[in-house]
Chains A and B, each alone.
Chain A
Amino acid sequence: MTTTKKISLSEEELVRALKSQETIAIKALYDMYSGALFGVVSRIILQPEVAEDVLQETFIKIWKSADNYDSAKGRLFTWMMNIARNLAIDKLRSKDFKNANKNQDIENNVDFIDAQKEVTFNADAIGLKDMVTSLKPEFNLVLDMVYFKGYTHVEAAEELDLPLGTVKTRIRMAIMELRKNFN
């Protein structure tokens, strides 16, 4: 499914290797998921160099917190994804980041556009584009705000001036639509 696959392990093997602190686990995780995780991080943090620092922190935290992962509670990717999102949001809200950001707005926007150009659209992604457009845009908007932009669903509700229930419904509908397309 991913664009470049060097090492790919099954989920069980990955978890076992990660928990026993074998570095091959990190190599495999990086090869399989760095693009997906960076996709999320770099949409929250628009400066590529800062986003890469956050991605680096993410892998180090995945490595060090491997014991905390419980496969009974959910998939490995979900766990990693939440680590990445939380680190990115923490960085976005940190004081020194905000300060540095004030002076670099224009520069960063340019970087952001450049970063956006590097997105690798493969055959699947083209299919995805069609799929996304088939979804009602306002349903997808709420999901993307939460999943890719670092909003909490409460903040998204405030931002869009929608009741919390509506936001929840739209997130569910959007994910239902995704499931329909992926299956």
Chain B
Amino acid sequence: MEEGKAYIESGILELYVLGELNEQEQHEVEAMAAQYPEVKQEISAIELAMEEYAIQHSVQPSKGLENKILEKIEAATIDTSKVSENLTTTTPQDAKILPLYPEGYESKLKTLRIALVACAVLLIVAGIALYSAHTELGTAKDQIIALNQDKQKFANTVNYMKETNQELQTIADMPNDPDWKTVKLAGTKMAPQAKMMVYWHTSGRHVMVDNSKMGLPKNDQAHQYQLWALVNGKPVDLGVFDVKADTTHILLKMKEIGSAQAFAVTLEKRGGVASPTMDQMIVMGGVSI
């Protein structure tokens, strides 16, 4: 008796009715119920209370459901011979429930596939467009570089022509200005074929060498020509110059001098020297008054 009462008060019977016990515990309760009538009675009271509680909390399912269930059960009864032993059949339940969602998945999957294909196509098109744009951009860049080079060339040419034009103008104006002296320098014994022209403005003190009429042999890298003015028998340095094939200027400005009786050119080491090496004199010419 006492054992039964303590068992009742443990609260295990409530859990039993609520389906909260594992199989072993259930067997234990059932054994106790078989042994003690008051345990069995207590279980029944709990069951009735819970049953009543559930009934009070009833929610009515929709009206068509009863017929649906009866149809299912009648259909299952016809097949009963096939499933007679298989009481815990789960397949009809699965078959019933699964269609709720897979249809949605199926169409979603289809949509996703189409979207995937569309994305792939778009990617390829975009790739091709990008590639062709990239190629065209490269071509355009090359063209811009080429045009820039052309432009630079033209600008250089224009500059050159401007300067040349200015220099030619200077030469053309010389005969009109009595202060401009044209001095022809003739080859010495050392270089009888050599000759050149020097323009000298007596009042403006300008000295210029005429590249267009240069008759000196080309100098090498180690040497340069040096122009001298002879002033009262003394040589005065007027600067060095090169004789090259590709001279850009017609006129070459030299150092200024106020008075001179003659001009001479010697071949000196590069950079020039303080006093001329007389045996290296190439050309010489006096100023005609």
Chain B residue at minimum C-beta to C-beta distance from A31: B66
Q: Shortest beta-carbon distance, B79 to chain A, in Å?
A: 11
B70's contact among A27, A43, A51, A172, by CB below 8 Å, is which? A27
Chain B residue at minimum C-beta to C-beta distance from A30: B66
Q: Shortest beta-carbon distance, B251 to chain A, in Å?
A: 91
Is the CB–CB distance between B52 and A39 below 8 Å? no
Is the CB–CB distance between A39 and B72 below 8 Å? no
Count of chain B residues with a beta carbon within 8 Å of a chain A beta carbon = 56
Is the CB–CB distance between B52 and A171 below 8 Å? no
Please, how many angstroms separate the alpha-carbon atoms of A50 and B99 in the complex?
12
Q: Which residues of A contact B97 (CB under 8 A)?
A: 53, 57, 91
Contact residues of B between 52 and 109, Cβ < 8 Å to A? 52-62, 65-66, 68-70, 72-74, 76-77, 80, 83, 87-89, 92-93, 96-98, 100-101, 104
Is the CB–CB distance between A77 and B18 below 8 Å? no
Q: Does A75 contact B (CB under 8 A)?
A: yes
Q: Does A16 contact B (CB under 8 A)?
A: no
Q: Shortest beta-carbon distance, A91 to chain B, in Å?
A: 8
Is the CB–CB distance between B54 and A81 below 8 Å? yes
Is the CB–CB distance between A42 and B51 below 8 Å? no
Is the CB–CB distance between B73 and A73 below 8 Å? no
Please, how many angstroms separate the alpha-carbon atoms of A40 and B18 in the complex?
12
Q: Does A63 contact B (CB under 8 A)?
A: yes
Q: Does A178 contact B (CB under 8 A)?
A: yes
Is the CB–CB distance between A115 and B59 below 8 Å? yes
A interface with B by C-beta (< 8 Å):
1-4, 21, 23, 26-27, 30, 33-40, 42-43, 48, 50-53, 55-57, 59-61, 63-65, 67-68, 72-75, 77-78, 81-82, 85-86, 91, 96, 99-100, 115, 118-120, 124-125, 128, 146-148, 152-153, 168-169, 171-172, 175, 178-179, 182
Given contacts A36-B51, A60-B93, A63-B73, 6 further A-B contacts (CB under 8 A): A21-B77, A43-B59, A64-B76, A85-B19, A182-B48, A182-B49
